[in-house]
Amino acid sequence: MRSGLLTAITQACSTLTQFTISQELPFAQNGEPLYRKNMKKIYADATQLAQSPLLEVLSGDAVVENLYTTRVYFAVDAKNPPSQTTQLITNLQTAKSNTGLVSFDDECDWTTEIDEDRIIYTFEYRSLVATT
């Protein structure tokens, strides 16, 4: 999901010149997330997978619900945020539907946190996929 999401974010943000996208993992150095240091750069964490049975059948096979979760982060200067921040937020929200997964539910929530002189944005993308 992470690589598909990064592709979708890259396409959705291709016209925004004030932000860049990191393709690399890990995005932390000496335990400090790089998005805190490198403002206006978008970082995606590794995708987490949680599985739960969705439907048990008599043959012993089961339909499993896979919940893929990927968090995306970026930070901006709290006193002088880039003028394209609002457009970036809109574009990041629309990327949820283009992750490359065939899913039955895609969600994206975002939060903000003020840390010293930075505003940190955290986007959480979730996709539910049923498999046998």
Give me the count of residues in the chain: 132
Structure tokens, 47: 């995708």
Domain locations along the chain: 2-131
Phi, psi of 21 (to 5 degrees): -125, 130
In the predicted structure, residue 132 carries a pLDDT above the cut 90: no
Q: What's the predicted TM-score (pTM) here?
A: 0.88
Nearest to 101 by CA among 23, 1, 8: 1
Give 2-131's CATH code, choosing from 3.40.720, 3.20.20, 3.30.2000, 1.10.287.
3.30.2000
pLDDT digits (tens, 9 = 90+) for 1-27: 899 999 999 998 999 999 999 988 877
Model confidence at 99: pLDDT above 90: no
C-alpha to C-alpha distance for 96 and 109, rounded to whole angstroms: 10
pLDDT digits (tens, 9 = 90+) for 38-58: 999 999 999 999 999 888 777
